[in-house]
């Protein structure tokens, strides 16, 4: 490239308590390129971004942005210089209007007072640039996550950003919303704005990025053009080891599930979220629950677990119809549920690994109301070893563990209750590749031992690799079922999009690199279904 | 004035809208109903200028405290110290009462603002929880007020200082006009200034506000200073109207102020609220007291003044339950992911 | 003094939160899912030495302060070390606060707060007094009073646990209405009491120890054992730490909270009876005024975060005694009651500041 890079970071070093988090990292982004930044959790991506945007001060190194040497004292200063960050969790103010969220802190004024008319007009204009036609005077929380994400992007654009950093922006988006985001990213690139894109999903990197920087152990280990690096190479560079079996199917072909279903849910209805979902799971079977965001996957799981009340429909556990009024009822019947959002719905942060792991088991560890500490200790020791939880001791607070290890503890929380059915909602989201594989292998092993598993995942790859049978949901209804070798990404996308299990070609799937777009019903414009997915 | 943007269009939206109307205007509807009830039942005596003026004049000081509390609660915080600050402001104001009302107001307000500065610094610099910080200043400031009052009772010098109790303009006491003006200014500030929007943004999502580069610490700090200043000012109102400030002055006002704000429909979690609704809340809670006085005056049934607190509590209960329904419904309509 | 000796002091290097203090845990800007630990160790940088110290200060600060104050008084205050002074002034005064603080600590552990304790004291005190004055047996009066107090707790708990009302507001209702109810029970008039059976809890001194001190010790020990050993104790910590997660783990979260408020109500009722007995008069206007503040202060001063998820019963007791001893010391040194109040406020702030590191 003839031009000097827009951003150049050289020799960046950062230590925490003497432990190096970044060692002599260099990172360059050219004007108008989409640059992928990848690495396992703990590789230093977040630290690098935080050093760049002024959240942390660097110990050593040099940062040049837009031709000047910089050291931003705060994210705000970085923003003013044209460097905006969009975080994984939407960091906006839900109760305030879309327009306010775009302009908070920089409201257009007349005579010192806020000019609401102009603010709304300008916000609408910026959003139209992103092909989004919404009522900007309505509160942000009325809209889908994708729209909220776009609002964050609009905010970045309105600050005249030269570089936009997106930290896992797609993790909460459905495929179709991801496509909208990608289109906008390409549009930005064409306008000369550079984008740094952080994601764990390889498909997305190949779909939208021009170049990639790989980090490992606080170092940059590769900087390449996206087209010049194979998936295999990318993964092995990231992990620093060979991982040939990574993408292999792990379904054990001969272990055909038999026996009566552990769970049989029929024609579930709940408000607008569930409109006729039926799903059954037999012992030893992993049933995937696929569908776009808002299709009712999590709602189905919650209903089956007794977390949300049903309007109508029946749930039978081991052949007996039951009325589950609370998760407690479900737990007593041998159902476990690992929710999607570990932080807010899974862990009790300040309690130890031991306490977290035995939380659901406590009623059974009770002797005259008193906790049997010895049995508790034995059980915890057994599972820490069996599942390979990495912690300094079972007494370590769970919040100190990495995401993957937290997830393992949460799985153990259910496994130690010896459940018949385990519901896993996005069990590998936000977890680094190594831990993800551990968990996938573990779930398969448990199923082979007779556990029934209901698996929810937004990653088609994961569903295809793990599930024996897949029930596809669309608009709160179960629309298709696929078994065995019929489970392919194409077939799944087709089912999600059209509601048919037949393998007719999906027309929008012609662009090979991109995961194809979803159905035409864009959730953006329907605030009632929007944002329903917790 | 609307600070809650109205969702419209879908049927869920409309349901929420009705709920919002109920939440936002429920207190106003109740206020109107009670006034009509009072006029019908107690006739002219209730509707006289005298009752109206003594009622609004009396309410003014509670109004000022509730106004400050509204802003604090909108940031997601709370200020429990206001009751003690009322006492402090009153004692300080009365202390300089020989120089007249204006110096008294300035001194009392400044004393209140000083407590607000302490609260604000502890909360923003040391990052302590507002609830417990202001609980501590509640204790400490009452001690300070009582120490300042000393052995002699805090009695105001006769003359100008006490004129707030007698001045009136167009049939309403000046104190009442001051309250109405303060609320109007407060409402305008909330809607039309960046500071007002920052207050709501901080209460809505403090992390986002910080990342957006909003001056979170400064705004949070200023809200406590405002609350302290208004409470101090209310203390001077009290001293001027009564001619003295006793040791129990302002005790429990923090909780009535919170009740008024909640009755008005401001969410305690912050981020949503309306200034004028708090005014309605204050008027409503005070009117209940006024009606009890009238009912007793009528002679047929005697309602002990003890009922006052019971009825206030019951009102708060009803409002809270209405809010719960509304919040649940809204949660269904658009649960943020 | 911690009820959770099972949690070892974190080694400095593994100090928990990467969040800058002040951000709400879990929603901080840097929380990429998985919250990488190496990256998370961040903001504690360069504070290794202080972390250890603050953990110590947090856990034993109140106890150390109490010990220091005790030693000072033993040396400087005449007759301080006599049973009369210790049992009948210090502990007798601290006992009611300690009992209420125990209930408050449990409620705070669930992530709540109970502002209504003072009003519940007044209600229970009046119920007991009115029944005794009406010629009912003392035991019946006590049981009826405690039952009414439990119902008050049930009311609070129902609003919080079933209706999801914020604890501050839910208990504010009874705080406001409760005193009126108490006044209505007796018509607001002060009535003299003289019934030795009924007034046992306020006046008796078995083995030369005031009955209320014994009651406080029993209440604290039982509560401590319950919180430490029982499943309910674990449930309180879990619900206070993360209610959604607890519910999804099959815990009866609503019942856990309900029981906490009922406990707090009953303990407040008990103290209401003690207060009425000790003063030999039913006084609806003054019984329990300001008790909610004293109890919350006692809990906070011992380093229990008001955000929930942590309960230290011994801490609440130490806090109650510490605050009382502090006030008595100041007053005995000729400081006015008002200035003593100022110092109390300052001590609470100091205690908060010390425990800050643990509760970002």
- What angle is formed at CA A258 by the lines to CA A253 and CA A261, rounded to 5 degrees? 125
Tokens of A92: 């906006």
Q: How far is B156 from chain A (nearest CA, A)?
A: 41
* Chain A contact for C9 (CB, 8 A cutoff): no
Q: Strand, coil or helix: what is A467? A: coil
Interface list for A 128-147 with B (CB within 8 A): 137-139, 141-143, 145
* Chain A contact for C222 (CB, 8 A cutoff): no
pLDDT of residue B299: 65
pLDDT of residue B19: 57
Tokens of B121: 């610094």
Contact A327 C229 (CB under 8 A): no
**First vs last C-alpha separation in chain A:** 44
- Chains contacting A with at least 3 CB pairs below 8 Å? B, C
pLDDT of residue A17: 65
pLDDT of residue C102: 95
**Cβ–Cβ under 8 Å, residues C121 and C295:** no
Interface list for C 8-27 with B (CB within 8 A): 21-24, 27
pLDDT of residue B316: 78
Residue of B5, B12, B214 lying closest to A105 (CB–CB): B214
Contact B337 A531 (CB under 8 A): yes
Which chain A residues are closer than 8 Å to B191 by Cβ?
114
For chain A, which ranges sit under pLDDT 70?
1-3, 17-19, 41-42, 88-90, 171-172, 174, 239-258, 293-294, 497-534
Residue A350: closest CA among chain C residues belongs to which residue?
Answer: C241
Q: Which residue has the tokens 């509707």?
A: B47
What is the distance between the alpha carbons of residues B276 and C243, in angstroms, rounded to a whole number?
Answer: 35
What is the distance between the alpha carbons of residues A8 and B70, in angstroms, rounded to a whole number?
Answer: 48
* pLDDT (tens digit per residue) in A376-404: 999 999 888 888 888 888 888 888 887 78
> Higher model confidence: residue B151 or residue B300?
B300
Q: What is the mean pLDDT of residues B198-227?
A: 89
Residue of B13, B194, B272 lying closest to A114 (CB–CB): B194
Range with lowest mean pLDDT among A207-211, C183-187, C262-266, C272-276:
C183-187
Interface list for A 252-311 with C (CB within 8 A): 305, 307
Helix axes B11-47, B306-333, angle to 10 degrees: 160
pLDDT of residue B335: 34
What is the distance between the alpha carbons of residues B184 and B181, in angstroms, rounded to a whole number?
Answer: 5
Residue of B140, B304, B320 lying closest to C341 (CB–CB): B140
Q: How far is CA B269 from the centre of its chain?
A: 17
What is the distance between the alpha carbons of residues C69 and A452, in angstroms, rounded to a whole number?
Answer: 62
Beta strands, E only, A171-218: 194-198, 211-216
Count the Cβ atoms, other than its own, within 10 Å of residue C52: 15
| Residue among A191, A196, A186 at smallest CA distance from A164 | A196
Contacts of C111 (CB under 8 A, 6+ apart): C167, C239, C240, C243, C307, C308, C309
Contact A344 C42 (CB under 8 A): no
Interface list for B 211-240 with C (CB within 8 A): 211
Q: How far is B272 from chain C (nearest CA, A)?
A: 15
Q: How far is B129 from chain C (nearest CA, A)?
A: 8
Answer yes or no: is pLDDT of C18 > 90.
no
Q: How many CB pairs under 8 A join B and C?
A: 151
Q: How far is A260 from chain C (nearest CA, A)?
A: 25
Contact B213 A79 (CB under 8 A): yes
Q: Which residue has the tokens 């609370």?
A: A326
**Rounded to the nearest 5°, which phi and psi values hold at C287?**
-60, 120
Count the Cβ atoms, other than its own, within 10 Å of residue A87: 22
| Residue among A332, A288, A295, A290 at smallest CA distance from A452 | A288
Tokens of B147: 């120490």
Beta strands, E only, A127-230: 163-167, 194-198, 211-216, 219-225
Q: How confident is the model at residue C108 (pLDDT cuts 50, 70, 90)?
A: very high
Residue B330: closest CA among chain A residues belongs to which residue?
Answer: A142
Contact B258 C175 (CB under 8 A): no
| Residue among A7, A10, A13 at smallest CA distance from A56 | A13
* pLDDT (tens digit per residue) in B246-297: 877 887 788 788 888 888 878 777 778 888 888 988 898 888 878 877 777 7
Residue B125: closest CA among chain C residues belongs to which residue?
Answer: C22
Contact A328 C252 (CB under 8 A): yes
Contact B307 C115 (CB under 8 A): no
What is the distance between the alpha carbons of residues A243 and C67, in angstroms, rounded to a whole number?
Answer: 61
| Residue among A455, A369, A465, A383 at smallest CA distance from A416 | A383
Contact C184 B306 (CB under 8 A): yes
pLDDT of residue A241: 54
Tokens of A399: 């919040």
* Chain B contact for A104 (CB, 8 A cutoff): yes
Q: What is the interface pTM, i.e. ipTM, of the complex?
A: 0.74
SS3 content of chain A, % helix, strand, coil (to 5): 35, 25, 40
> Higher model confidence: residue C121 or residue A216?
C121
* Chain C contact for B303 (CB, 8 A cutoff): no
Contact A348 C45 (CB under 8 A): no
Contact B269 C345 (CB under 8 A): no
**Cβ–Cβ under 8 Å, residues B302 and C152:** no
DSSP class of residue B6?
P
Residue of A88, A346, A366 lying closest to C32 (CB–CB): A88
Beta strands, E only, chain B: 154-155, 168-169, 172-173, 244-245
Q: Strand, coil or helix: what is C37? A: helix
What is the distance between the alpha carbons of residues C315 and C312, in angstroms, rounded to a whole number?
Answer: 5
Q: How confident is the model at residue C350 (pLDDT cuts 50, 70, 90)?
A: confident
Residue of B8, B204, B212 lying closest to A94 (CB–CB): B204
| Residue among B227, B262, B57 at smallest CA distance from C176 | B262
Instruction: Decide: residue C48, CB within 10 A, 0-12 exposed, 13-18 middle, 19+ buried.
Output: middle
Residue of C24, C188, C345 lying closest to B139 (CB–CB): C345
Interface list for C 296-315 with A (CB within 8 A): 309-310
- Chains contacting B with at least 3 CB pairs below 8 Å? A, C
Helix (H) or strand (E) holding C102: helix C92-109
pLDDT of residue A87: 77
Tokens of B211: 């990342």
Q: How far is C329 from chain B (nearest CA, A)?
A: 16
CB-facing half-sphere around the CA of B119: CA atoms within 13 A: 37
Q: How far is C251 from chain A (nearest CA, A)?
A: 6
Q: Strand, coil or helix: what is C306? A: coil
* pLDDT (tens digit per residue) in C208-234: 788 889 999 999 999 999 998 898 999
**Cβ–Cβ under 8 Å, residues A330 and A289:** no
What is the distance between the alpha carbons of residues B38 and B27, in angstroms, rounded to a whole number?
Answer: 16
Answer yes or no: is pLDDT of C57 > 60.
yes
What is the distance between the alpha carbons of residues C263 and C232, in angstroms, rounded to a whole number?
Answer: 12
Helix axes C211-229, C231-241, angle to 10 degrees: 80
- Chains contacting C with at least 3 CB pairs below 8 Å? A, B
**Cβ–Cβ under 8 Å, residues A152 and A165:** no
Count the Cβ atoms, other than its own, within 10 Å of residue A359: 27
Which chain B residues are closer than 8 Å to A87 by Cβ?
211
> What's the whole-model pTM score?
0.75
Q: Which residues of C267-291 are buried (b: 16+ CB within 10 A; e: fewer)?
A: bbbbbbbbbbbbbebbbbeebbbeb
Instruction: Find which of B127, B144, B206, B318 to mutate to test the C interface (most C CBs within 10 Å of its CB).
Output: B127
pLDDT of residue B16: 53
Residue A94: closest CA among chain B residues belongs to which residue?
Answer: B204
Contact B10 A528 (CB under 8 A): yes
Answer yes or no: is pLDDT of C131 > 70.
yes
**Cβ–Cβ under 8 Å, residues A183 and A105:** no
Interface list for A 243-282 with B (CB within 8 A): 271
Answer yes or no: is pLDDT of B112 > 90.
yes
What is the distance between the alpha carbons of residues C24 and B57, in angstroms, rounded to a whole number?
Answer: 42
**Rounded to the nearest 5°, which phi and psi values hold at A7?**
-125, 135
* pLDDT (tens digit per residue) in C279-299: 877 777 778 877 888 898 899
Q: What is the 3-state secondary structure (H, E, C) of A394-426?
A: CCCEHHHCCHHHHHHHHHHHHHCCCCCEEEEEC
Contacts of B124 (CB under 8 A, 6+ apart): B217, B218, B220, B221
């Amino acid at each position: 490239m003839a031009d000097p890079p827009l951003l150049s970071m050289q020799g960046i070093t950062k230590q925490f308590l003497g432990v190096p988090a970044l060692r002599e990292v260099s990172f360059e982004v050219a004007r108008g390129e989409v640059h992928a930044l990848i690495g396992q959790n703990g590789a230093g991506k977040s630290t690098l971004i935080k050093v760049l945007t002024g959240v942390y001060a660097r110990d050593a190194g040099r940062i040049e942005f837009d031709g000047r040497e910089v050291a931003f004292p705060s994210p705000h200063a970085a923003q003013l210089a044209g460097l905006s960050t969009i975080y994984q969790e939407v960091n906006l103010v839900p109760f305030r209007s879309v327009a306010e969220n775009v302009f908070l802190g920089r409201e257009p004024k007349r005579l010192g007072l806020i000019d609401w008319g102009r603010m709304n007009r300008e916000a609408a204009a910026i959003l139209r640039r992103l092909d989004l036609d919404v009522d900007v005077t309505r509160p942000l929380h009325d809209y889908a996550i994708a729209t909220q994400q776009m609002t964050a992007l609009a905010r970045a654009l309105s600050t005249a950003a030269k570089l936009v950093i997106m930290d896992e922006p797609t993790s909460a988006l459905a495929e179709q919303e991801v496509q909208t985001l990608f289109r906008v990213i390409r549009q930005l690139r064409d306008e000369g704005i550079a984008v740094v894109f952080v994601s764990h999903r390889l498909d997305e990197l190949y779909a939208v990025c021009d170049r990639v920087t790989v980090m490992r152990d606080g170092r940059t280990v590769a900087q390449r053009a996206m087209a010049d690096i194979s998936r295999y190479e990318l993964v092995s560079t990231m992990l620093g080891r060979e991982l040939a079996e990574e993408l292999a199917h792990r379904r054990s072909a001969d272990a055909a599930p038999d026996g009566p279903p552990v769970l049989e849910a029929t024609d579930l209805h709940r408000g607008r979220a569930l409109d006729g979902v039926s799903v059954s799971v037999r012992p030893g079977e992993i049933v995937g629950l696929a569908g776009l965001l808002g299709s009712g996957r999590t709602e189905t799981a919650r209903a089956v677990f007794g977390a949300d009340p049903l309007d109508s429909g029946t749930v039978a556990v081991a052949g007996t119809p039951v009325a589950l009024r609370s998760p407690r009822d479900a737990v007593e019947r041998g159902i476990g549920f690992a929710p999607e959002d570990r932080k807010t719905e899974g862990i009790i942060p300040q309690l130890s690994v031991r306490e977290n792991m035995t939380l659901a088991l406590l009623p059974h560890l009770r002797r005259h109301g008193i906790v049997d500490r010895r049995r508790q200790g034995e059980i915890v020791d057994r599972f820490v070893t069996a599942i390979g939880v990495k912690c300094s001791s079972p007494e370590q607070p769970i919040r100190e563990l990495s995401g993957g290890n937290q997830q393992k503890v949460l799985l153990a929380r259910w496994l130690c209750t010896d459940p018949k059915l385990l519901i896993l909602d996005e069990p590998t989201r936000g977890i680094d590749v190594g831990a993800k594989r551990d968990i996938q292998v573990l779930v398969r092993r448990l199923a082979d031992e007779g556990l029934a598993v209901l698996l929810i995942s937004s990653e088609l790859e994961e569903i295809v690799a793990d599930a024996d049978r897949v029930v596809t949901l669309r608009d709160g209804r179960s629309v298709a079922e696929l078994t065995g070798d019929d489970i392919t990404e194409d077939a799944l996308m087709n089912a999600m999009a059209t509601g048919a299990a037949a393998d007719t070609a999906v027309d929008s799937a012609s662009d090979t690199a991109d995961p194809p777009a979803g159905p035409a019903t864009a959730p953006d414009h329907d605030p009632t279904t929007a944002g329903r997915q917790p | 004035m609307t600070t809650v943007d109205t969702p419209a269009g879908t049927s869920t939206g409309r349901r929420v809208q009705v709920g919002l109307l109920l939440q936002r205007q429920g207190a106003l509807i109740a206020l109107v109903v009670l006034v009509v009830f009072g006029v019908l039942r107690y006739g002219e005596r209730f509707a006289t200028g005298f009752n109206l003026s003594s009622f609004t004049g009396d309410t003014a000081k509670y109004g000022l405290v509730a106004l400050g509390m509204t802003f604090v609660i909108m940031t997601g915080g709370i200020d429990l110290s206001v009751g003690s600050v009322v006492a402090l402001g009153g004692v300080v104001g009365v202390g300089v009462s020989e120089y007249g009302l204006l110096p008294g107001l300035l001194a009392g307000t400044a004393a209140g603002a000083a407590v607000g500065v302490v609260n604000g610094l502890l909360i923003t610099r040391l990052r302590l929880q507002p609830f417990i910080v202001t609980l501590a200043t509640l204790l400490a400031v009452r001690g300070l007020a009582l120490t300042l009052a000393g052995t002699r009772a805090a009695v105001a010098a006769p003359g100008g200082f006490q004129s707030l109790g007698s001045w009136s303009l167009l049939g309403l006491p000046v104190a009442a006009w001051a309250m109405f003006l303060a609320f109007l200014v407060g409402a305008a500030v909330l809607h039309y200034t960046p500071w007002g929007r920052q207050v709501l943004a901080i209460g809505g999502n403090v992390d986002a506000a910080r990342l957006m580069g909003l001056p979170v610490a400064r705004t949070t700090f200023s809200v406590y200073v405002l609350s302290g200043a208004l409470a101090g000012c209310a203390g001077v109102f009290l001293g001027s109207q009564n001619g003295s400030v006793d040791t129990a002055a302002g005790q429990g006002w923090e909780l009535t102020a919170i009740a008024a704000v909640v009755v008005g429909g401001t969410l305690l979690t912050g981020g949503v609220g309306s200034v004028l609704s708090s005014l309605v809340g204050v008027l409503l809670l005070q009117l209940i007291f006024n009606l009890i006085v009238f009912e007793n005056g009528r002679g047929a049934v005697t309602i002990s003044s003890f009922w006052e607190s019971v009825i206030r509590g019951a009102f708060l209960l009803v409002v809270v339950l209405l809010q719960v329904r509304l919040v649940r419904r809204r949660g269904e309509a658009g649960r943020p992911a | 003094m911690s009820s959770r000796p099972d949690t070892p002091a974190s080694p400095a290097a593994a100090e928990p939160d990467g969040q800058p203090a002040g951000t709400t845990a879990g929603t901080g800007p840097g929380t990429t899912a998985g919250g990488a630990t190496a990256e998370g160790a961040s903001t504690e940088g360069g504070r290794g030495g202080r972390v250890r110290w603050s953990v110590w200060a947090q856990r034993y600060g109140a106890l150390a302060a109490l010990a220091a104050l005790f030693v000072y008084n033993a040396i400087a205050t005449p007759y301080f070390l006599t049973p009369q002074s210790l049992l009948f002034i210090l502990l007798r005064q601290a006992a009611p606060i300690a009992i209420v603080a125990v209930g408050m600590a449990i409620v705070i552990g669930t992530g709540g707060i109970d502002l209504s304790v003072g009003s519940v004291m007044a209600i229970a005190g009046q119920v007991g007094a009115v029944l005794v004055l009406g010629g009912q047996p003392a035991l019946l009066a006590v049981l009826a009073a405690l039952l009414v107090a439990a119902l008050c707790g049930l009311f609070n708990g129902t609003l919080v646990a079933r209706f999801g009302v914020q604890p501050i507001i839910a208990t504010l209702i009874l705080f406001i209405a409760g005193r009126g109810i108490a006044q209505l029970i007796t018509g607001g008039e002060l009535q003299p009491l003289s019934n030795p059976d009924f007034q046992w809890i306020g006046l008796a001194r078995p083995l030369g120890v005031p009955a209320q001190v014994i009651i406080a010790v029993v209440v604290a020990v039982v509560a401590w054992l319950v919180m430490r050993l029982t499943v309910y104790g674990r449930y309180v910590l879990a619900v206070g730490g993360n209610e959604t997660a607890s519910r999804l783990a099959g815990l009866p979260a609503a019942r856990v909270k309900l029981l906490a408020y009922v406990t707090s109500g009953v303990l407040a009722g008990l103290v209401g009876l003690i207060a009425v007995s000790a003063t030999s008069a039913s006084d609806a206007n003054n019984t329990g005024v300001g008790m909610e503040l004293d109890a919350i202060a006692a809990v906070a001063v011992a380093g229990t975060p008001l955000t929930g998820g942590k309960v230290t019963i011994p801490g609440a007791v130490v806090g109650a005694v510490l605050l009382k001893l502090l006030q008595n010391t100041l007053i005995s040194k000729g400081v006015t009651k008002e200035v003593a109040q100022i110092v109390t406020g300052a001590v609470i702030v100091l205690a908060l500041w010390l425990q800050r590191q643990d509760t970002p």
